[in-house]
């Protein structure tokens, strides 16, 4: 079937089988291999992208199901050479080691920050809950929590 998906604001068209998973469609698009996969059962969260602003596991969604929706991947975070505060926060707080879960973590936490924008500060428990569908095998999560806090503080300053 011919699919036309909106990925990071651009229309990406390709003929695929209906069974193609969204994660594969994204990764088959030149330059967009930042979205990873780590399991087959929607447990690990390495494949998280934003669909209409909400984090979704793209390994458990058909590419066909994403047509007509706005898909955002990790590659969209940096704008005009400016890192997103969440990217900067991960770097500042050493919230990544091997980097494999990082794109999914960044998108999951970007959505969390967006959802909370203008609201009360996020508690550590809220951050931990938000990332509980994403497995990091390297960091033990402590620095990821710190990175989200860092980003929350620094994007407030920007506003």
Q: Is 74 in the site for other proteins (CB under 8 A)?
A: yes
**CA–CA separation, 94 and 75 (whole Å):** 20
Q: Is 78 in the site for other proteins (CB under 8 A)?
A: yes
Is the sign of the CA dihedral 102, 107, 108, 113 positive or negative?
Answer: positive
**CA–CA separation, 65 and 99 (whole Å):** 28
Provide, rounded to whole angstroms, the least separation between the CB of residue 20 and other proteins: 8
Provide, rounded to whole angstroms, the least separation between the CB of residue 11 and other proteins: 18
Is the CB of 98 or the CB of 156 nearer to other proteins? Answer: 98
Which pair of tokens denotes residue 104?
Answer: 């999914």
Q: Is 41 in the site for other proteins (CB under 8 A)?
A: yes
* Of residues 79-138, those binding other proteins (CB under 8 A): 83, 87, 90-92, 94, 96-103, 106, 108, 124, 127-138
DSSP 134: S
Count of residues touching other proteins (by CB under 8 A): 78
Which pair of tokens denotes residue 28?
Answer: 């088959």
**CA–CA separation, 5 and 61 (whole Å):** 13
Is the CB of 52 or the CB of 153 nearer to other proteins? Answer: 52
Q: Give the CA diameter of the chain.
A: 47
Provide, rounded to whole angstroms, the least separation between the CB of residue 13 and other proteins: 17
């Amino acid at each position: 079937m011919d699919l036309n998906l909106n990925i990071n604001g651009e229309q990406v068209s390709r003929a695929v089988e209906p069974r193609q998973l969204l994660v594969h469609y994204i990764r088959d698009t030149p330059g967009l291999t930042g979205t990873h996969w780590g399991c087959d059962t929607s447990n690990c969260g390495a494949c998280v992208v934003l669909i209409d602003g909400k984090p979704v596991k793209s390994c458990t969604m058909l590419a066909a199901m994403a047509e007509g929706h706005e898909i955002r991947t990790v590659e969209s975070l940096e704008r005009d050479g400016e890192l997103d505060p969440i990217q900067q926060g991960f770097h500042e707080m050493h919230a990544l080691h091997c980097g494999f879960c990082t794109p999914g973590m960044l998108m999951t936490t970007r959505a969390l920050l967006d959802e909370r924008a203008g609201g009360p500060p996020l508690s550590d428990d809220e951050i931990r809950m938000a990332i509980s569908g994403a497995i990091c095998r390297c960091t033990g999560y402590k620095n990821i929590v710190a990175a989200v806090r860092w980003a929350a503080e620094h994007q407030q300053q920007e506003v």
